[in-house]
Amino acid sequence: MLWELIDLSDWKTKKQILSELKHGGIIIDERRLRKLVELQNKLFYNHESDIFIAHSSKGYKATKDYEEINNSLKDNHKRAIDLLHKEAVTRKALGENMNFNLIVHNGEFMYVEL
């Protein structure tokens, strides 16, 4: 797994991880890195590994520490809530914006409901 390819015992940014992998002859993009993190964490969820790759503003870290894992989960939760809020306000605006149309006819505004 990822933490076996490079030392993730301390926090590392995506850029550092990709650079170390490249130095070791493994070239991947950010999307593939996220998939590898997801795969490792799926092993953790399924009790097949006791290593979780946590993330924070400091980067990524392979850990067994409860607090580091919990903080990573809190960040995921906050991101999920933010995304759900953005979806809700966008759907509301979409519905409001699609309910009417203004047309200019002979220099006058005409309100038309859809």
Fold of 1-64: Arc Repressor Mutant, subunit A (1.10.10)
Token pair 């890195």: residue: 33
In angstroms, the CA 56 to CA 60 distance is 7
Give pLDDT tens digits for 59-76.
999 999 999 999 999 999
pTM above the 0.85 mark? no
Instruction: Locate 33 and state its tokens.
Output: 């890195």
Encoded tokens for 85: 């809020």
Confidence of residue 15 (pLDDT cuts 50, 70, 90): very high
For residues 85 and 88, what is the distance between their CA atoms, to the nearest angstrom?
5
CA distance 71 to 47: 20
- CA-nearest of 71, 73, 54, 55 to 63 is 54
Can you tell me whether residue 76 is helix, strand or coil?
helix
How many residues in total does the chain contain?
114
